[in-house]
Amino acid sequence: MGKPRGKRHPSSRRVKLHRSYRVDEAASAVDSCRATIRRWIKDGLPTVRDTRPALILGSDLIDYLDRKRSGPKCGLAECYCFKCRSPRRPALGMADFILMSERGGNLRALCSVCGCLMHKRISVVTLTAIQDELAVQIVERQQHLEGTG
């Protein structure tokens, strides 16, 4: 019952607005696992206080999922850090650009807060605008090994 269903983004369509949910019921309603719901509670999903088991109001769950879906958007000179779970500027204002095609590539930088590696897919046109804000070094793409397998 508590197993994830393989969906990437939880949907709030099956959540009833005027109902309260236990952790396992909320997980079932959004096709997620109980551990995910518990992590959301730690991250700010409100629960009804002084109750055991923890109860989550349907309206709060819908609001949380809507906020989560809209999510933080990266600015022009920002990349999303998966460790910090928020958009961050590259450390020391520096990044590498790996050209993947004639139209775009990957921006690679270190997070200024935790030092974790961040990536962002950008176009060559966007690269010129980013170079005004960041020191970008263009790096050659490494070739894949041929004849392996």
Residue 103 has which token pair? 């139209």
**Is there a single domain that holds both residue 47 and residue 87?**
no
Phi, psi of 129 (to 5 degrees): -70, -35
- 24-53 pLDDT per residue, tens: 999 999 988 999 999 999 988 999 887 788
- The label of the residue with tokens 């709030």 reads 12
21 — pLDDT class (breaks 50, 70, 90): very high
Last residue of one domain, picked from the residues 70, 92, 107: 70
124 — pLDDT class (breaks 50, 70, 90): confident
CB 58 within 8 A of CB 19: yes
As a whole number of angstroms, the distance between CA 51 and CA 44 comes to 17
Domain that holds residue 25: 20-70
Residue 130 located in a structural domain: yes
CB 55 within 8 A of CB 82: no
As a whole number of angstroms, the distance between CA 67 and CA 145 comes to 43
The pLDDT score that the predictor gives to residue 10 is: 74
Residue 5 located in a structural domain: no
